Amino acid sequence: MLTEALYIGLMSGTSMDGADAVLACFDTNGKPRVIARSTAEFSPALRAEFLDLNRSGADELARSALAANALAEVYALAVKKILATTGLPSSQITALGAHGQTVRHQPAQGYTIQLNAPAYLAELTGITVIADFRSRDVAAGGQGAPLVPMFHAGVFASAQSRAILNLGGIGNVTILNPGQAPMGFDTGPANVLMDLWCETHTGKPYDQDGEWGASGLIQVELLKHLLDSEPWFLRDAPKSTGRDLFHRQWLDSRIDSISEARAPFKPVDVQATLRALTAVTACEAIKKYAPFAANVLVCGGGARNPALMSELQQRLPCPVHSTEQAGIATQDVEALAFAWLAWAHRQGIAVGNPAVTGARAARILGATWPA
């Protein structure tokens, strides 16, 4: 008989391939234990719509509302799968933590937009929904991202310095030093550019296990140009980013500008170079802010790319492993984080971290839509 509180975390990330759901129980100290997991894929049409909604377009307000409702239906399907697997009634779940789909992230201008329909999700599932986790931090002058470092501190802290590297669409890192508050920030593109390039040239939404990119050669000249031409990489933490910056036009303009003076790059070599861009930006961030890290734990889709994991290890002086070595599956980490954020909201704990986001003070994150 479960005596701990039960929460479901829902996450649909920058890669826009679907939703991950994790059911976890939390003890009185907020320590989670994963009980079940599920996934629900986006239809090609919904994925295309989310990609289109990352930039201004015709009738985007109505389209955004309809896409948010469609997302709630995907989330509800993921929840239904978990309840069916466990045999639990919805009444046993304390709350759902639902992040929504980020389509704009402009904290410098005072806003961030995650498409979501939490009221509809509460109606579909009969479960209280906690959502809108970024906006309070942005209102307090923060970046609103990344959201997960306090969670990482709760589940991955050790007696030695450690870095947690999440490689979803955008990379972000959490620095954990014993006796110090965690810090974290975005490192730059992780899978977002690789997925875009792979789909353009192979028709597949992502490079399965990094195999296509692994057959290419890193173009050092192009890699240097990608790094040198983007001022964002030189910014100090705290910082965050998204598809607002790293998108098709960003990549095409840089490839075109350097290709004018030479033969075109082979597509597979560009893919290998984008993998190197992910590795270089992540590793330089870790070496700058966690020079004495005893190890690095990697989660997100990038952890399933052997060539990327190998390159991270080559560029870092400490061991690199997936989070599975610490007991949490790589694809569970972000969804579990939103279950934890929902738990923290219900407990009234201010988990917004000024050392991470630059906000004026820690804030309670999220808002509640009762069942």
| pLDDT for 2 beyond 60 | no
Residues with Cβ < 8 Å from 332, sequence gap 6 or more? 20, 22, 34, 37
Q: Is the dihedral of CA 212, 214, 217, 222 positive or negative?
A: positive
Give the mean model confidence (pLDDT) for residues 196-211. 94
| pLDDT for 139 beyond 90 | yes
Tokens 């407990």 found at: 347
Q: What is the CATH number of domain 149-318?
A: 3.30.420.40
Q: Each residue of 112-138: pLDDT tens digit? A: 999 999 999 999 999 999 999 999 999
Residues with Cβ < 8 Å from 9, sequence gap 6 or more? 21, 22, 24, 96, 97, 334, 335, 336, 337, 338, 339, 340, 341, 342
Give the mean model confidence (pLDDT) for residues 137-156. 93
Q: Among 24-38, 215-229, 256-270, where is mean pLDDT lowest?
A: 256-270
Does 149-318 match 5-145+331-369 at the fold level? yes
Question: For the packed helices 118-125 and 60-86, what is the interaxial angle rounded to 10 degrees?
Answer: 30
| Global confidence as pTM | 0.91
| pLDDT for 108 beyond 80 | yes
Average pLDDT, the chain: 94
Q: Each residue of 292-337: pLDDT tens digit? A: 999 999 999 999 999 999 999 999 999 999 999 999 999 999 999 9
Q: What does the longest C-alpha to C-alpha distance in the chain come to? A: 68
Give the mean model confidence (pLDDT) for residues 246-258. 94
pLDDT at 335: 96
All structural domains of the chain with their residue ranges: 5-145+331-369, 149-318
Give the mean model confidence (pLDDT) for residues 345-354. 93
Confidence of residue 3 (pLDDT cuts 50, 70, 90): low
Confidence of residue 1 (pLDDT cuts 50, 70, 90): very low
* 3-state secondary structure (DSSP) of residue 27: coil
Hey, which bits of 190-287 come out as E strands? none
Confidence of residue 21 (pLDDT cuts 50, 70, 90): very high
The values of phi and psi at residue 370, to 5°, are -65, 155
Cβ atoms of residues 164 and 174 within 8 Å: yes
CATH classification (class only), 5-145+331-369? alpha beta
| pLDDT for 355 beyond 90 | no
What the block records as the tokens of 329 is 């599956």
